[in-house]
Chains A and B, each alone.
Chain A
């Protein structure tokens, strides 16, 4: 049997909806595990990519300094890097804050917002610094493929992954392209 493809996944400024949709391939997940093995991923809770991998799937855009580091780690360690979902591709809903300044956003959430008690902007050094604007992944590193959807449907994931693993063009057929 051919060696399994190594895959890493992560969610940056996303909601894990894309990962949930990947799990929605249901029993096909067992077939997928015949073809791939997961390295770093929320599925197995490995925190860092342990070795160079064949395929990286990234959900979510880039909203803070930690996201930038993780994205660079993925680009360095993944032969093929895929932006998964609306947020990874366009910034998505988190990038709706780009219409406002970061100061306005923080004040709305932690100072002046409805129901705020002990008003102060969280400043623990453990917290990654927020970027002024939320960015899609291709603003920061080269992205090889884009898998659209919010989230991409389980069938879109299945089509994309099986075609890519088989060495074919993983472009989605029109029926599987959805942005909502």
Chain B
């Protein structure tokens, strides 16, 4: 027997072990999310997927789906909260969209489009962060890092390399690499790694291909992040169940 719960008053079926987010995506309902990826363990750090379950806030990527629970997702309060969280992510880094080679393929930017962000509301922090262009094939621009640990998880769990980690705490935490020199060139990362491919922003990029696809013809220039997320999830489910 299939159990169901209610997402914004719509009945959603789920399988045992699915999170609220997975069940929603399975049923074709989008919940905004940034650090969660279908092929990785949930991280629950971006807080964009926050929903209200039976009156209390939870991140839907880690909260198991349960029978008859009442989940609120698309409410004005939660959308405003998501916007504020995203604005904080923007001002905490140095995100120069006009000069970024990832513009149009960037999940952070696409999420901002999705939520209708027209300003950053908070004071820009202009942090000073080191770039690492030492690797022959991979760029690391920490200005664009949102510390979602997608690369940490992908390198460890998909590439089997364990190249990345987060160093320090709070606002001073930064992306570090697993080499005594602290430089990307002394790790075994390669341009083909999932850690590089899955980076949601332009922090980890492959060298010499940045403008192969012109600005204006990129993934999120053509399709919204919500439509893409549903497609990606369905593809992952078809491949791995």
Interface residues, chain A, with chain B CB atoms under 8 Å away: 83, 86, 89-93, 95-96, 98-99, 133, 135-136, 138-139, 143, 145-148, 150, 171-172, 174, 177-180
Contact = CB atoms under 8 A, between A and B. Distances in A.
A91 B123 CA distance: 11
Interface residues of B, number: 27
Contacts of A91: 124, 126
A96 B116 contact: no
A148 B103 contact: no
Contacts of A135: 124
A86 B126 contact: no
B118 A172 contact: yes
B103 A146 contact: no
Interface in B122-153: 123-124, 126, 128-129, 143
A86 to B, nearest CB: 5
A139 B95 CA distance: 17
Contact of B118 (A95, A96, A147, A180): A147
A145 B118 CA distance: 9
A171 B83 CA distance: 14
B112 A179 contact: yes
Contacts, number: 75
Contacts of A95: 96, 124, 126
B120 A180 contact: no
B231 interface: no
A93 B99 contact: yes
B229 interface: no
A90 B118 contact: no
A99 B127 CA distance: 7
A172 B116 CA distance: 8
A86 B118 contact: no
A179 B112 CA distance: 10
A83 B119 contact: yes
Contacts of A93: 96, 98-99
Contacts of B128: 99
Given A95-B126, A179-B109, A89 B120 contact: yes
A178 B188 CA distance: 36
B98 to A, nearest CB: 4
B94 A99 contact: yes
A133 B94 CA distance: 14
Contacts of B124: 90-91, 95, 135-136, 139
B116 A150 contact: no
A177 B126 contact: no
Given A90-B124, A98-B126, A179-B109, A148 B119 contact: yes
Contacts of A145: 118
A172 to B, nearest CB: 6
Given A91-B124, A95-B126, A177 B94 contact: no
B215 interface: yes
Contact of B114 (A139, A172, A174, A179): A174
Given A145-B118, A146-B118, 18 more contacts: A89-B118, A90-B90, A90-B96, A92-B98, A95-B126, A99-B126, A99-B128, A99-B143, A136-B124, A139-B123, A139-B124, A148-B118, A150-B97, A171-B118, A172-B116, A177-B117, A180-B100, A180-B104
B91 to A, nearest CB: 8
Contacts of B215: 180
Contacts of A180: 97-98, 100, 103-104, 109, 215
Contacts of B94: 96, 98-99
Contacts of B126: 91, 95, 98-99, 133
A82 to B, nearest CB: 11
Contact of B98 (A99, A143, A150): A150
